[in-house]
Every structure is written in C-alpha cells, then in structure tokens.
Structure 1
Amino acid sequence: MKSKQVTTTLLIGLCTAATATTANAEMIWQDFSVSYLNGSDYEVGDKDRQVITFEHASGHSWGDTFFFLDRLKWDDGTTENYSEFSPRASLSHLSGSSLSFGPVKDVLISTTWESGEGFDNFLYGVGFALDVPGFNYFNLNFYQADNDESDDDQQLTWTWGLPVEIGGAEFLWDGFLDWSSASDTNSAEMNWTSQVKWNAGKLLGLSSPLYLGIEYSFWNNKFGIKDADERNAALLVKWHF
C-alpha cells in the first residue's frame, strides 16, 4: 500500500509540476476522437466483442498527454470499462535547456495510470520523442510498473503514426507495442496493436478525418496469462473532431 501511495503521489506531482513550471505554459495542439470496433477473435472472455473508444491527445509547451476510455461489450451482454491516462513532462522544458540529440527531439518523464474493473496500475519512467522521417510521431517509453493485482514488472511502450498518400487518398498506419517483463505471477507479454485506415472524410468533404479500416491485435500471453495468444482483426470506424 505504501508503494502504491508513493507512486500515486509521484504521478500527481509530475502533472502538477509540469503545468506549473511557467505562467507561459500553453497548449500547442489537441485531438479528440471516437471509434467503434467489432471483432470475433478476442482472447480471455467472450471471443465476440464490440468496443467504443474515446480518445484525447494534446501537446503542450511542458510536454504531452494521452487519454483513452474503452467501453467493451461482449456478445453475451457483459460490459466492461478500461482507461489509461499518460502525461509526459518535457525535461527540456523543466530544465530550461534543450536535451535534443541525434534523432531524439526530447527526453521526458513518462507516467501512465491504467484503470480497469477493480484495479489501478501506475507506471513511471523515462520517454523519448524521436524525429523519424515520414512519421507524424514516434515515441519510446520505458516504465517501472506498480501493479494492483500482480507482481510489479517493467514495460517498454512504442507508439507511432505514419501517414501515407496514394493517388490522392489519405491513409494512416498507427498503433502501439507494449512489452512487459515476466514476474512470479505473470508471463512476459507483448501486445502489438495497429490500425490501417483510410480517410473517407476527405471524399465526403469533411474538415476532420473520418477513418474506415482494420485494427489488428497480435498479443502474446494476454494479461500475462501463459499461452493466451490473441490474433484478432476488428473492423474500425474512427471519427476525429
């Protein structure tokens, strides 16, 4: 319990310190989206599932944030909520000196709060924002996890977004890869989930993207359960505001 309290305090403290370092802190950009997924090969629970996801991402002079909430509905009627909130504080901003070098644009203090049905996990560590040609963003985060229902472990998270234009049509390949180390209670797991989608909103004359596509989940030892391997393709509709 003491460790959990310390980690919670650290997460709140980092968010507060980042936003309060200067009166000139400002929001540079933000994005909000709602998506719908429908797949039939999920592991752990009912294989048929529908998911509505609300996402918000923002960039600030002090760092960036990412939040999502999944509302899952299984084919048997069971519902479940899961969310993550991931603020990162720029060490360049906090120190007043640029920490960019080579392909590294910035070094950040990275935190994540994972919240599900009856549990809360807290992750903290260091992140790197990379400048990779062609990509909208390319991030690496290295975490120590303070878990509620299993032994603590370490996690690597990679996120990316790669836009592609073919014959005037706009496509986007984006997603994440989470790798978590093994512990006495969990097997090592890897969750590589990505989306390939077409911006139908451009054809419809919309000012913001309306994507149609597929999300594919390649997840080994899902939730740390040995041999619970997920290979799930889900139809996707995603609207950005």
Structure 2
Amino acid sequence: MNNKWILVALLASPTVFAESLVQWSDFSVTALYGDNFEVDPAEQTTITLETAGGWKYGDWFAFQDFIYFNDAPSDSNHVNYGEYGTRFSASKIFDSKIGFGPLTDLSLALQYEQGSAAASTMLYGIGSDWAVPGFSYLNVNVYQRTELSNSAGERGASDGWQLTPAWRIDFGDTGIVFDGFIDWVFSPSEDSYEPMLHINPQLKYDLGAVINGKSGQFYVGVEYDYWKNKYGIPNGIPGLEVDQSVFSLLIKYHL
C-alpha cells in the first residue's frame, strides 16, 4: 500500500474511534484576577484551561491552572496545578438506568491531582448524579484520597476522604449562570493536616449572546473562593492566616 494512504489511515483511525466514543465535549479558557489571597502572595492572575465531556461509558472533567503572583520575584512568581478526572457510569455501561427518585446514575469516580507545589494525589470513589428542579446538573462524588508523593515544599500531602458536589444553575433566558464546586477534605491520615473546606462558585453573564448573538460562548463575571484551612494548614500559626475569602473578576471563552 502507498505510504501516503497508510499515513492517512493512521491519522483518520483515531478520529473515527473518537467519534464513536465521545458523545459531547467542551473546551474553555478562563482568565481571573483577584487580590487578598492567603498563604500565597495576595495578588494573583490565573489562566485556566478546562475540558469536560461525555463518552460512551461515562464522562470526564479536567482543568489546568497557571497561577501568576503579580508582586513576587521573577524566579518564584508562578505555579501550576491541575486535576484530571473521569467517571464510569453504571447506567451507560449496563445500558439501563441505575437509580431511583432524584438519583439518576451511579459511577466509579477517578481523579488525579498534581501541581508544581502540590502533592500528587490519586482519588477514587463513587459518583452520583441527581435531578433537582432548577439545576442544569448536580453531581456528588465521594472519594478516598491516596497520597502519591510527599516531597519537601509540597502542600496538601495526606491520605483521607473527600466529598465534592458540583452544580450548574441557568436562570432562564437571562444569560446568568451560577455554577461551581465544593471540596470538603476530612478524616486526614496526617496529624499535621487539618480537614479543609474549599467553596468555589462562579456567577457569570453570557455577554457573547448580546454582542455577537452566540450564546454559551463568551462569559464575564466573578468567582468567589472560600477556603478554610487552606492546603490543610492548621489555624494558630503566628503571622499566617489560613482561612481565605476572596473575589476574582473573570472572563471565560468556550472554543
């Protein structure tokens, strides 16, 4: 066979496979600016790459943050952090609805966390999807956390448990969206690691629908970040505030 056609076949086969496997997907870029962060330098600019989608046997969600400390020295003015997760849906795998009442599905939930200054952690547990009036989606995952690395300078290093609800609410035809997540890490294995609560909602307006008639593409808004015992650091350390409460301005573009 002509080498050209071999190359075409190799390039086309993943596409055909992906089309049969992937049901929907989304990719977005978000820019945020905020001040008064705790533990880290106060003024920060963050670029977030984010993807979500549904596939034949479940769904996925992943993001990568590139965080810039605006007033820090150039040799220490940025870090990165990412989470990459997928869920294997019982309803999709068995081709039958698994659930009752408002519970619409159960899943095997897997997630990997890593960062330039964060401990690498594997999470595994049970995911659930709920049909709740007013919510575009509501899912709740319960994980066991397993620490994969604990090098000097890494934060958030501990085994334990985590409860993570995530949601989205669309306010009719107003173009206003309220979505976000909560991470509650509890029962840590390390005595030096405090249970922590991280609440991270966004309130956004669909500006793209107004300026170019394309809805669901370009958003502006604010993000609120509440973090009790940030990175699992206990309260009471002199000169260190570990409970964070900060608003950030955001713009978000879906490709």
Q: Provide Cα deviations, 1:126-169, integer angstroms capped at 9, x if missing partner.
A: 0001111221110000000012333310000000000113xx53
Provide the C-alpha distance between the structure 2 equivalents of 1:197 and 1:92, rounded to a whole number of angstroms: 32
TM-score normalized by structure 1? 0.85
TM-score normalized by structure 2? 0.81
Question: Are 1:219 and 2:227 counterparts?
Answer: yes
Q: Please, which moves more after superposition, 179-188 or 150-159? A: 179-188
Q: Report the AA paired with residue 240 of structure 1.
A: H
Alignment-derived partner of residue 53 in structure 1 = 48
Alignment-derived partner of residue 83 in structure 1 = 82
Provide the C-alpha distance between the structure 1 equivalents of 2:129 and 2:252, rounded to a whole number of angstroms: 25
Alignment-derived partner of residue 186 in structure 1 = 193
* Alpha-carbon offset, residue 199 of structure 1: 0.6
Which residue among 22, 28, 45 is the counterpart of 1:27? 22
Question: Are 1:196 and 2:170 counterparts?
Answer: no
Alignment-derived partner of residue 231 in structure 1 = 245
Provide the C-alpha distance between the structure 2 equivalents of 1:146 and 1:234, rounded to a whole number of angstroms: 31
Q: Please, which moves more after superposition, 88-97 or 168-177? A: 88-97
Alignment-derived partner of residue 73 in structure 1 = 68
Which residue among 171, 176, 179 is the counterpart of 1:174? 179
Mark the structure with the bigger radius of gyration. Answer: 2
Provide the C-alpha distance between the structure 2 equivalents of 1:130 and 1:115, rounded to a whole number of angstroms: 28
Moved over 6 A (4+): none
CA contact (8 A) 1:182 1:189 kept: no
Identity over aligned pairs, percent:
34
Alignment-derived partner of residue 13 in structure 1 = none
CA RMSD of aligned residues (A): 1.9
Provide the C-alpha distance between the structure 1 equivalents of 2:99 and 2:19, rounded to a whole number of angstroms: 21
Q: Provide Cα deviations, 1:21-65, integer angstroms capped at 9, x if missing partner.
A: xx9963221111101000001111101000000100001231000
Q: Please, which moves more after superposition, 122-131 or 86-95? A: 86-95
Provide the C-alpha distance between the structure 2 equivalents of 1:169 and 1:151, rounded to a whole number of angstroms: 43
Alignment-derived partner of residue 112 in structure 1 = 111
Provide the C-alpha distance between the structure 2 equivalents of 1:171 and 1:97, rounded to a whole number of angstroms: 34
Q: Report the AA paired with residue 109 of structure 2.
A: S
Matched residue SS, 1:129: strand
Q: Gaps spanning 5+ residues in structure 2: where?
A: 1-17, 151-156, 236-241
Q: Gaps spanning 5+ residues in structure 1: where?
A: 1-22
Alignment-derived partner of residue 153 in structure 1 = 160
**How many residues are matched?**
218
* Alpha-carbon offset, residue 214 of structure 1: 0.5
Provide the C-alpha distance between the structure 1 equivalents of 2:21 and 2:104, rounded to a whole number of angstroms: 19
